Structure 1
Amino acid sequence: MKAYGQALQVETCGDRPARLIWRGRTYPVGAVLDEWRFGGRWWLGERSRSCFLVQAGALTAELQREDGPEGRWWLARLVD
């Protein structure tokens, strides 16, 4: 997997990702392969987050959503 750490736009269905928009292209999420919680490195001020391993078109990606009112989404890693 290649690390990215880039913010991206994700459309959801409930609390799960349904579609992601990355580099100007839309990728529908066909399957959520795994999901877990990460508590964050509290000593660095990181928020906890929800993590998802998804199959979205030709992409297999790890997406993360920070807890909190903004709920920012990140592309953490892609399978290359």
Structure 2
Amino acid sequence: MRAVQQQVDVEVRGGHPTGLSWNGQAYPVQAVLDWWRSGGRWWLGEAPRDCYLVQAGNLTAELHREDTQEGRWWLARVQD
């Protein structure tokens, strides 16, 4: 997988991602392949986060949601 680290817009239903927008294109999430919780890089002041590996069309992506009031979503990595 290739690192991306870009903030993205993510649609959520039932607490899980159902779609994302990246580079001007919408990707509906067909499946959540894996889910885990990460403590974040605490030594850099990062908040804990929920991480999802999703299949969204032809895109396999790792999404992270920060555990903060803003709840920002990041596209961490994509399948090469």
The TM-score, its normalising length taken from structure 2, stands at 0.97
Q: Counterpart of 1:12?
A: 12
Q: Counterpart of 2:57?
A: 57
Cα shift at 1:42: 1.4
Cα shift at 1:32: 0.1
One-letter amino acid of the counterpart of residue 36, structure 2: W
Cα shift at 1:35: 0.3
Q: Counterpart of 1:22?
A: 22
Deviations 1:11-68 (A, max 9, x none): 0012100010011111100000000000012121110000000000000000000001
Cα shift at 1:70: 0.2
Distance in 1 (CA, whole Å) between partners of 2:64 and 2:76 is 7
Q: Which runs of 5+ in 1 are unaligned?
A: none
Q: Secondary structure at the match of 2:30?
A: strand
How well do the aligned residues superpose, as a CA RMSD in angstroms?
A: 0.6
- Report the number of matched residues: 80
* Overall identity of the aligned pairs, in %: 64
Q: Secondary structure at the match of 1:43?
A: helix
Q: Counterpart of 1:70?
A: 70
